[in-house]
Structure 1
Amino acid sequence: MKRIFALFLLLFSLIQVSFAQREASRWYFGNKAGLDFNSGSPVALTDGELETHEGCSTISDQNGNLLFYSDGINVWDKLHRLMPNGTGLLGHESSTQSAIIIPKAGSKILYYIFTVDEPDPEEPNNQGLNYTLVDLSLNNGFGDVVSSEKNVHLVTYNQNNPLEYKLKCSEKITAVAHNDERSIWVITHFKNTFYAFRVDENGVNHTPIVSQTNTNVPPEGYKQNGIGYLKVSPDGSKIGIAHSQTSVSDQS
């Protein structure tokens, strides 16, 4: 299928999430693969437990020490052990961006894992976009998922449309910092619409900022047509999104 890459201006002020120190210096991905960038050059890591076909996320502290990582389904701590409550998240092994980890503003121990399922019309229970809270003070300081904030659903679809309700969301997610330099926008996409959820010291705001474009990925055939990736530009002024196939409508 033809792949289309489009850039859209966001309708609100964003700057890219950028870790000032080494929070993103370790990556775990693929079939127990990993890379450590703390030295300035990538060094292979072979101690990871993650096995996934596609999306995953890793977070370290400001000094580059591993905190935890996830494939959107399971969560491993810094010793590569499954967190006690760290299974059953609602991402998917075939979701391109199954998980993204976001720190909670004002806290050094609380993090959110946002997950997106693979939108499959043949599946009776597509899960869409959800978030889960990790508290690093739990489990003797190794961290655990907070049961009361596990797999909290966020709506990115028309609940009165049966097909949209079934699919719920794309398998794309990204994040950028708000220009207050504390809050973070978590952004996903469905059909012709971007949904941006603000995360701040109060938690996750369930009411998104909604921005529509004239490039549409129809829900019919969405499992294949919606395949792709979502990324924000370094200055936060643009967002890039890749789809397998789209249609363009005139909104004038």
Structure 2
Amino acid sequence: MRTIFTLLVLLTMLPATAQKHDEIWLLGYGSNAGNSSFGGTVIDFATNPPDMYYEYRSMNFSQVNASICDTSGNLLFYTNGIYIANALNEPMENGQGLNPGLHAQQNQEYGYILDQGAMILPAPEHDSLYYLLHMDKELNLTQTSFQSSHFYYTIVNINDNNGLGKVTSKNQALITDTFHKGKLVATRHANGRDWWILVRRYGTNLYYKVILSVNGLINLGIQSSGNAIPSNSIGQAVFSPDGSKYANVHIAGYAGDPIYVSIYDFDRCSGTLSNSIQFTYADTAWCAGIAISPNNRFLYVSSFRYIYQYDLQAPDIEASRITVAEWDGFAQNGSFATTFYLAQLAPDGKIYITSNSSVSYLHVINHPDSLGLACDVCQHCVELPTWNAFSLPNFPNYRLHHLEGSPCDTLRQPPTSAWSYDAQALELAFQDSSYHDIRAWHWDFGDGVTDTVPHPVHTYAAEGVYNVCLTVSNPRGADTLCREVQVLINIVADTEGSISVSISPNPVTNGVALLQLEALVKLDNPQVIIRDALAREVLREPLRVVAGKVQQEMKIGHLAAGVYFCSVEDSGVVVWQGKVVKQ
């Protein structure tokens, strides 16, 4: 006798892990024990609508506002440009003394005043290191305007101090030059792992191209694009959610002076700006913000009393402008105007806009993917538990992955698990066929045994149903593929040479197949059995033996097209087995 095993497979895919680094937003002033209107506001986007609540904390946010969560949405640390606080709202070890200089000295209690003056990025291929990118703010030599002179980075290892983190490197100047102040933004490289950062030289059309890769921060030099833009201005910069566009808005001068809008194509593979579209407009604004819709089509400019929508797919983007909101005149306590300032796309797909004065409200664009008034700007509709001094967190799109079809799409994120096997009795040889830069393997054979090699050989002790899983991972993610495996032990008589069976036609095209059998041994109770790929019995018929021979039709027209397993059994013993194909 010899033993035959049939393994049947059911496929289950597990969802990929979401990047929830921006799920918690922190706003507000340092807490005042005697007045709960001044304190910390937390907006948690883990729920829809987001959960919003008061939090007692010491940090006071002005304009600089950067924070980061882990991939599950748990807050890790945050900064106001003066110091870094951990998840317990305590100063992180070595986190004091950011941005050395006069401006930081003058704003120790208030917070650094610089629009988009900081941003936090996870270090590529590292699960515990984070880069805080930040810029300083200084008066120029003639004391007539502000500029940034240093593009700094500070490194946090969040695993230190039992997960509360420690600053391991601080105020490292990657580039020293005369920069336009703030406007720090980033987008994913086309490989889905690295990050691009752009910083503009003061009063020019020259942009430093910086990449954060596994080798750290690297300055790749300067590129020029479009016309020069005035500096010493208030405004904001943004990448589109898909990273294909870079845009900024600048107000230089006074109300009624030109407001500069610049839009560029961005190559996520090379970090290159191109095809600049630049125009100006004038209204009563003396502050402005900018954001792009989740579908990458609509550009929103928040311009003090107005919010404008531009269609980035229009032949003439400047002419596509629609005024989607005009300030309704609401002022908190009759004095603090809720006009429009900085904007930020949130995890819930809405765009939130702060005011340029201290108020306890945010504006929201509920449907930013919609054209014109259908975008639904709701003024001062988000009431905060505390007052907020025009601060809004500065986040990139952490959820952006590799660019499909790009020549730089060489890493693929996240990995994809795939495997197959060959069976020889109880011994199974598993073959890994996963792809996208696999660095580690973890097999679970469903019987309490595991392995970490790519192509293991495993022997089962008995028949049964086993849930076999392969988890593959690389520094950018993990994926698990599970298959429910049913091991059946069929006893097969050693009848080699004594029984011959043929099925014709095979493949079966008209729903009827002729089974012909010739046996040199006596068959007592023969039956033909057909099973599908999941070992489910779909046909069982007795065979009529005349003088050691069988000629019998099998009617399988009711079966779906596919490959089926056919066996001839006699008194429970398999004497022959093969396959039949139904077309």
* TM-score, scaled to structure 1: 0.76
Residues 7-59 of structure 1, C-alpha deviations (whole Å, 9 max, x = no match): xxxxxxxxxxxx93321100113323321111122222422443122121111
What does 1:51-62 correspond to in 2, within 5 Å? 51-62=60-71
Is 1:172 the counterpart of 2:183 in the alignment? yes
Alignment of 1:45-124 (within 5 A): 45-47=53-55, 48-90=57-99, 93-121=112-140, 122=143
Q: Matches of residues 143-222 of structure 1 in structure 2 within 5 Å?
A: 143-146=165-168, 149-155=169-175, 157=177, 164=178, 168-190=179-201, 191=203, 192-208=205-221, 210-217=223-230, 222=231
Deviations 1:56-107 (A, max 9, x none): 1111111111111111221111111110200111186110012100000001
Between the aligned residues of both structures, percent identity stands at: 30
The 3 A distance-change label for structure 1 pair 200 and 30 is same
TM-score of the two chains, using structure 2 as the length reference: 0.34
Q: Distance in 1 between matches of 2:146 and 2:188?
A: 35
User: How far did residue 215 of structure 1 move?
Assistant: 3.0
- Aligned CA RMSD, in angstroms, stands at 2.6
- Write out per-residue CA displacement over residues 140-193 of structure 1, whole angstroms, 9 at most, x where no aligned residue: 3210111xx311113263xxxxxx4xxx44211001000010000122223222
Give 1:139 deviation, angstroms.
2.1
Structure 1 counterpart of 2:234: 227
Q: Work out the CA distance in 2 between the residues paired with 1:153 and 1:42.
A: 37
Partner of 1:129: 151
- Residue 27 (structure 1) aligned with residue 25 (structure 2): yes
Q: Which residue of 1 aligns with 2:391?
A: none
Q: CA separation in 2, counterparts of 1:52 and 1:127?
A: 22
SS at match of 2:96: coil
Query: Which deviates the most, 37-46 or 76-85?
Result: 37-46
Structure 2: runs of 5+ lacking an equivalent: 1-16, 30-39, 105-111, 253-257, 261-583
More RCO (CA 8 Å, sep 6+): 1
Q: Would you tell me which structure has more strand in proportion to its own residues? A: 2
Secondary structure in 2 matching 1:140: helix
Q: Is the Cα contact below 8 Å between 2:152 and 2:173 reproduced in 1?
A: yes
Please, which moves more after superposition, 94-103 or 135-144? Answer: 135-144
Unaligned runs of 5+ in 1: 1-18, 158-163
Separation of aligned partners in 2, 1:36 and 1:52: 17
